[in-house]
Amino acid sequence: MGEELPEPLDVIAVGAHPDDVEIAVGGTLASLVRQGYRVGIVDLTDGEPTPASPGPDVRLAEAAEAARILGVQVRVTLDLPNRRLFDSFESRVELAKVFRRYRPKIVMGIADKTPMASPDHWQAMQITDAAIFYSRLTKWDDQFDGLQVHTIRKQLWFPLGFSSLKALDTPGAFVSDISDSLDAKMESIRAYHTQFPTSKERIFRMVEGFAKTLGGTAGFVAGELFIPAAPLGVTDLVQTLCPDK
């Protein structure tokens, strides 16, 4: 008899390190929770070592506080190595196990390289893409601790970093309204005291300004950008483009 599985999640967002997801899509996750959805975050590494952090326990405590602020129901930190994260069979399987265990409808992951920032981000994108595929593969139970296959219905990518305005020109890209959850997003990032001390206040101005710029392109106070892995279908064109408020 297999293990008893937890209640499924509607959405899982995957980052390379604690704080990646908050910076990129924290507002959307907070909004989803407020709308009644079950949301999880997976950090592929614990993000350590970093210059100002005394160790993994502190960084994990910061991540837990950030998750509390956003209201997400589940946060998982995999035991993959920070700074040496590579797309490998083993890393793909570890993430796919999380998908099989929590059975999300939607998975969000990093969209592209982040030049002059951590190369782990690019590796995380590849690991996430592969794990979504691995999650649904049959006749491979021995690789996944006997966890049943699970097919993820939709995949989204999110740009990470402020040099990715080119993503606005990506076909199918859309902006998620975080007008009412921008404050929660910013508070969740501030929970990482070791990563964003007062000397880095400019980072918060950049994050907030970027969110307001993205939101403004879609008529919102603030927003976050997503790129779908496949075209999104529309059943009610009017409600999709002009939703009732």
Q: How many CA atoms lie within 13 A of 190 on its CB side?
A: 13
**One-character DSSP codes across 34-101:** HTT--EEEEEEE-----TT-S-HHHHHHHHHHHHHHHT-SEEEEEEEPTT-----HHHHHHHHHHHHH
Q: Decide if 162 contacts 210 (C-beta within 8 A).
A: yes
Per-residue pLDDT for 216 more than 90? yes
Output the pTM of the full model: 0.95
Q: Please state, as a whole number, how many other Cβ atoms lie within 10 Å of the Cβ of residue 169.
A: 7
Q: Please state, in angstroms and rounded to a whole number, the distance separating the CA atoms of residues 96 and 78.
A: 11
How far is C-alpha 4 from the chain's CA centre? 26
Q: Could you tell me the CA-to-CA distances from 119 to 14, 83, 84, 160, 240 in Å, in that order?
A: 15, 8, 9, 12, 37
Q: What pLDDT is recorded for position 75?
A: 98
CB atoms within 10 A of CB 108: 26
pLDDT top residue among 170 and 30: 30
CA distance linking residue 196 with residue 152, whole number of Å: 34
CA 133, CA 141: separation in Å to the nearest integer? 14
% of the chain beyond a pLDDT of 70: 96
Give the model's confidence band at 243: pLDDT under 50 very low, under 70 low, under 90 confident, else very high. confident
SS3 224: strand
Confidence at residue 1, expressed as pLDDT on a 0 to 100 scale: 47
The mean pLDDT value for 100-117 works out to 95
Q: How many residues belong to the chain?
A: 245
Structure token pair of residue 225: 């950008």
Radius of gyration (C-alpha) of the chain in whole angstroms: 18
Position 164 scores a pLDDT of 59
Q: pLDDT tens, 37-80?
A: 999 999 999 999 999 899 999 999 999 999 999 999 999 999 99
List the beta bridge partners of residue 124: none
pLDDT mean across residues, the chain:
94
Count Cα neighbours of 42 within 13 Å in the Cβ-side half-sphere: 29
Find, among 189, 191, 194, 190, the residue nearest to 55 by Cα.
Answer: 194
CATH topology of domain 11-241: Rossmann fold (3.40.50)
Residue 245 pLDDT > 80, yes or no? no
Check residues 84 and 170 and name the one with the higher pLDDT: 84
The percentage of residues in the chain with a pLDDT greater than 90, rounded to a whole number, is 86
Question: Which token pair is 43?
Answer: 């950090």
Q: pLDDT band at residue 2, thresholds of 50, 70 and 90?
A: low
Higher pLDDT, 59 or 245: 59
b vs e for 187-216, b when ≥16 Cβ sit within 10 Å of the residue's Cβ? bbbbbbebbbeeeeeebeeebbebbbebbe
Phi and psi dihedrals of 169, rounded to 5? -90, 0
